Amino acid sequence: MIDLKALRENPEAFKASQKARGEDAGIVDKLLKADDARREAIVDFEKLRAEQNLLSKSVGAASGSEKEKLLESAKKLATSVKAADAKRAEAEDAAHKVGLLMANLIDPAAPVGGEADFKVIETVGKPRDFKAEGFEPKDHVEIGKVIKAIDIERGAKVSGARSYYLTGPGALLELALVNYAISLAVKAGFIPMIPPVLVKPVAMEGIGFLGQAAENVYHLKEDELYLAGTSEVALAAFHMDEILDQLPIRYAGYSPCFRREAGSYGKDTRGIIRVHQFEKVEMFTFCKPEDAEAEHKRLLNWEKEFFDSLEIAYRVIDVASGDLGASAARKFDIEAWIPTQGAYREVTSTSNCTQFQARRLNIRYKDEKGTKPVATLNGTLVAIPRTIVAILENHQQKDGSVKVPKALIPFLGMDTLVCA
């Protein structure tokens, strides 16, 4: 939810933000109109309530016929107050519904444009020269078959397209990545969490996943629950309707994630880069709004440190306005080099959602001026399938084995994934 006071003071900034996202800028005027109606209805209701309170005092002080007349007036006024209250509730609900259609205000520093208009912030490491080493790299599907780490055929047989089994070394690699990521997060001061993956509509709506992203969400209609596509949902809603005493609060959630991938027909149909179910470790922060920009950089640095330790070349991009999603004011992605694709592919992302989600979820903190919405930020420390893809392809050896990054050896218990 956006700041209505800021909207009234500078509607053009919000119109420009909507346009930069490729969204309807007309929603700004609709929200302003709905907000005016809401405020007018509140004023009318409060005016009648004040009259009712004064009349109640007069009734208490009166007697005889005068009291009877006042009681009759009070009865009529009570009817008017009830009608005004209903009108107020209706106007507030209407304004709320329009407000839910508005995306967050974009950070002016974010690049403007579509998916391809990102800005490369930095490139770390050099892609490995397999030609110089005398062999052609295999893709992760081939490697997974050789070392019996991934079984896509049986995954499809059991669960359909974009499904898979991680077997033997593949399963061990996932567990090692998760344990390594959680250990780093705990050292950095994050509280580890295993959150629910079935969430209520208020949680999904609160973080902004029932708007433009709704088509990618699994909905259990009979139970009125959703399968979360990221633990960000449950972590954000953890403090719903609360006032937080101490900030920042940092959580690291490990969970399975579920995505329909409805808009990705024909994309990444080979392998496990784009799948319906996967696990990841997600960082989530609640902090003061003035600290959000610095916290965003910290989340990015933790992600960079993780991928530095995996000895994989990557780049960091500043995501363009049209690819931010509804909640993020600014987003940075880390893209790992995938040798067989000859391209960098997204493996992690970190978003500054400012106070947008907190307003929708009613999460506040208290300072000397009263209570106000906190800022929320999220960042993926590790998303398992794509990280496994990057490890298998970048660390494969000529003999078909895969060298394990040094940082993972203590968690995996071996330094090489060998051919079966």
d(CA 9, CA 145): 60
Catalytic pick among 255, 327, 349, 351: 349
Q: 412: which 2 tokens?
A: 């995996």
Q: Can you tell me the distance from the alpha carbon of 207 to that of 327, in angstroms, rounded to the nearest whole number?
A: 7
At 375, list the tokens. 């800022």
Q: What are phi and psi of 352, to 5 degrees?
A: -100, 110
Q: What CA dihedral angle connects 236, 242, 244 and 245, to 10 degrees?
A: -160
What residue has token string 């995505």? 259
User: What are the CA-CA distances from residue 382 to residues 179, 305, 349, 379 (Å)?
Assistant: 11, 11, 9, 9
> How many CA atoms, within 13 angstroms, populate the side-chain half-sphere of residue 178?
18
Beta bridge pairs of residue 280: 255, 383
346 is catalytic: yes
Whose tokens are 């880390």? That residue is 334
**Catalytic residue (one of 88, 259, 298, 360):** 259
Across 209-276, the runs of DSSP E, i.e. the strands, are: 218-220, 225-227, 242-244, 249-258
Whole-angstrom Cα distance, residue 374 to residue 359?
A: 8
Total residues found in the chain within this entry: 420
DSSP letter assigned to residue 213: T
Set 162, 250, 364, 386: catalytic member: 386
Which residues, 6 or more positions from 119, have their beta carbon under 8 angstroms from its beta carbon?
A: 111, 317, 318, 320
Q: Would residue 259 show up in a list of annotated catalytic residues for this protein? A: yes
Q: Is 386 a catalytic residue?
A: yes
C-beta of residue 247 within 8 angstroms of C-beta of residue 269: no
Question: 120: buried, middle or exposed (CB in 10 Å: 19+, 13-18, 0-12)?
Answer: exposed
**Contact assessment for residue 368 and residue 292, using Cβ atoms and an 8 Å cutoff:** no
Residue with tokens 């959630």: 253
> Residue 320, SS3?
coil
Contact predicate 286/249, CB 8 Å: yes
Given the residues 39, 49, 260, 274, select the one marked as catalytic: 274
Instruction: Report the SS3 class of residue 263.
Output: coil
Contact between 325 and 208 under an 8 Å Cβ cutoff? The reply is yes
Q: Which residue has the tokens 């080979």?
A: 270
Residues tagged active-site: 259, 274, 346, 349, 386
